[in-house]
Amino acid sequence: MSNIGKLMKQAARMQQQMEQIQAELAARTVEATSGGGAVKVVARCDGSIASIKIDPQALTPDDAQIVEDMILTAANQALSQAKEINTAEMGKVTQGFNIPGLM
């Protein structure tokens, strides 16, 4: 039973650490641009978009499709960076905690 008690304490400690890291990741941001800086996307490391900025000079009716593509590119780059940070930070918590079938 001693091992189960240790395991339960370790799991509780890991859960607290994960909750803390998730809160920190929600506040941490990354930035990506496309179109030579015409579009800037800021993403939170929890996987959400914080903001999108578009250079007004990039906005002409004829270029709508290009601007949409630049937004999509910048958003995907920012979210990819955010996911990498999230995975690395959460991996720090679960490192050394190996339960078959859990991870």
pTM across the whole model: 0.62
pLDDT band at 99 (very low <50, low <70, confident <90, very high): low
**What residue spans of the chain are helical by DSSP H?**
2-27, 64-94
Q: Give the Cβ contact number of residue 69 at 10 Å.
A: 14
* Main-chain dihedrals φ then ψ at residue 96, nearest 5 degrees: 85, -5
pLDDT of residue 27: 87
pLDDT band at 18 (very low <50, low <70, confident <90, very high): confident
Q: What is the mean pLDDT of the chain?
A: 83
pLDDT of residue 45: 86
Asked if 26 and 13 touch (Cβ cutoff 8 Å), the reply is no
Mean pLDDT within 85-96: 80
Domain ranges of the chain: 2-94
Q: Please identify, in words, the CATH class of the domain defined by 2-94.
A: alpha beta
Q: Give the Cβ contact number of residue 68 at 10 Å.
A: 11
